[in-house]
Amino acid sequence: MTESRPVRPPLSPSSPDGPADSIPITVLFFSFAADRMGAHRIERTVPPATTVASLFREYADQLGAGADRFLFSVNEVWAPATRELGPGDVVAIIPPVAGG
């Protein structure tokens, strides 16, 4: 089982959540995505108006596939890659599923 880990240290020494111009989010990874990221859950901050697609681009090289192959949810509701994130959002990055 993988553990939660922070992606970055706080960006501002005065605030544990980062600078005032950033928003806290949680990113969840499932299946092989969690294995490749070395974590199932990451707490981090992003700039306001960050989209799911721009967030995904930060992880795409490590995940080994383009966003067109993944599904996303924000706060447990399916979300398009164009969805802008808000404070406290929980983003799930769900890899393609294959089976028989």
- pLDDT score at 18: 53
Tokens of residue 41, six digits:
């859950």
Tokens of 26: 């949680």
Q: What is the pLDDT along the chain (100 residues), one digit of tens a residue?
A: 444 444 443 333 334 455 569 999 999 999 999 999 999 999 999 999 999 999 999 999 999 877 778 999 999 999 999 999 999 999 999 998 765 5
| pLDDT recorded at residue 74 | 98
Q: What is the CATH number of domain 23-94?
A: 3.10.20.30
Please give the structure tokens belonging to residue 35: 């294995």
Instruction: Give per-residue burial for 74-93: e unless 16+ CB within 10 Å, then b.
Output: beeeebebebebeeebebbb
The reply to whether the predicted model has a pTM over 0.75 is yes
The confidence score (pLDDT) of residue 75 equals: 98
Which runs of consecutive H residues, i.e. helices, occur in 1-82? 32-37, 52-63
Residue 77, H or E segment: strand 77-78
- Whole-angstrom distance, CA of residue 95 vs CA of residue 18: 29
